[in-house]
Amino acid sequence: MNTEFTHARGTHTLVRYPAEHQHKSLQAWDAVDEYIISYVQANYTDLLDNITPQRMAILNDDFGALTCAFQACKPVHISDSFVAQLGARHNLQQNDLDSASIEFIASTDKLSQTFDIVLMQLPKNLALLTYQLHQLRDCTHPDTIIIAGGKVPVVTKNVQQLFNTILGDCHTSLAAKKSRLVIGSVNNALTPPPLTPWNTWEITKPVLQLSHLPNVFSRLHLDIGARFLMQHLPLIEGEHVVDLGCGNGVIGCTVLADAPNAKVTFVDESYMAIESAKRNVQDNFPEQYAQCDFVVANCLSQVDLEHVDLVLCNPPFHQQNAVTDHIAWQMFKDAKQVLRHGGELRIIGNRHLPYGNMLKKRYGGFTVIATNAKFSILSTYKSDASRR
């Protein structure tokens, strides 16, 4: 795995976070990072070196490549991913860069600064991009330089239209290494369409009205995997249940509907997911809200839990744009740390994924609860005999 990222502003050693779980072939930067850095260095060196500091914002920097390159500018790192922020901190520290000089802001926080330069890795999710562009309107000025980058297939006409209608006129760069930039500024005279960050839909069994912020998985309808898992939950009464990778919290809310005395801990690495889960419990189960905890975390690492009775999860098989099974492996490992002896881990996954073998290695065995054409639901238990 190549860890040396040489770019227009120097060389940094970067790893994908958490390094111990990553595939050797994956690196912590891409050609888009390289293009953004080289473009800024070639065109705005005078601003970066100006005696008056330019306030810089960096959005969607997954592992800190941009943040490390521009650390001297003391940028504000804005992300919906807690893991991305951990990764940026880690890479800053291993390059002897002062991570305390960087302000880390969650996607759900209100931006109070005014930025002179904005750098962005374009998200694939147009709803999230719409949300972020509206955020930027409120914290920029007409001379703010906005540079967003993405792979050529991501820089679509729809993306350009969003920039034009929310911020103002923009233009795109020539393609380089299959990457392209969107370069724009803010037109204060423009009146963009109003932002509607929350999307809502209902399900009938159980009867729930669910609301979601833009970056939450399956925000427009109930995910078919979640629906299948909801049909095959174990009997729950007053147990402590963890909804791991909770998204909008639909699984945990189903537990609350079936077991009013249950304690439920909702965990996700997405700030928007946790805010959505909070709202959904408040809206659907206000009397049970005090029985719930909501935690932004990297799986269950450094989460203060023990003697959990049941962990439920639908593990993601990608991190940003890379297909990977390391998140599932970490979820299974972390679940074992918090489960009581005899506690259950119940998961759902696509049938082709090797989750059964992973559970067998970690727990010593598993049971197939149900299958259909696409998914399998697997169950395993923590026992004294299972491996640590």
What integer pLDDT is reported at residue 300 of this predicted model? Answer: 96
Segment (H or E) for 58: strand 56-59
Q: In one letter, which amino acid is 95?
A: N
Burial call 330-361: b when 16+ CB within 10 Å, e when fewer: bbbbbbbebbeeebbbbbbbeeebebbebbbe
Q: In one letter, which amino acid is 121?
A: Q
What integer pLDDT is reported at residue 23 of this predicted model? Answer: 64
> Closest by alpha carbon to 29, among 1, 57, 64?
64
**Distance between CA atoms of 236 and 218, rounded to whole angstroms?**
25
CB 65 within 8 A of CB 320: no
Give a three-class secondary structure readout of 234-298: CCCCCCEEEEECCCCCHHHHHHHHHCCCCEEEEEECEHHHHHHHHHHHHHHCHHHHHHEEEEECC
> Closest by alpha carbon to 35, among 159, 186, 172?
172
* DSSP bridge partners of 295: 267
CA distances from 182 to 124, 160, 166, 192, 377 (A): 14, 7, 14, 18, 43
> Closest by alpha carbon to 251, among 261, 242, 239, 260?
242
CB 128 within 8 A of CB 214: yes
Specify the length of the chain in residues: 388
Q: Give helix 326-338 / helix 355-363 axis angle, nearest 10°.
A: 30
Instruction: Determine how many CB atoms are found less than 10 A away from the CB of residue 384.
Output: 6
DSSP, residue by residue, 297-346:
-STTTT----SEEEEEE---SEETTEE-SHHHHHHHHHHHHHEEEEEEEE
CB 117 within 8 A of CB 57: yes
What integer pLDDT is reported at residue 387 of this predicted model? Answer: 42
CB 271 within 8 A of CB 80: yes
What integer pLDDT is reported at residue 323 of this predicted model? Answer: 45
Q: Which residues of the chain have pLDDT under 70?
A: 1-2, 20-25, 51, 317-324, 384-388
| Dihedral (CA of 123, 127, 129, 132) sign | negative
Q: Give helix 271-284 / helix 250-258 axis angle, nearest 10°.
A: 30
What integer pLDDT is reported at residue 388 of this predicted model? Answer: 42
DSSP, residue by residue, 196-218:
---EEEEEETTEEEEEE-TTSTT
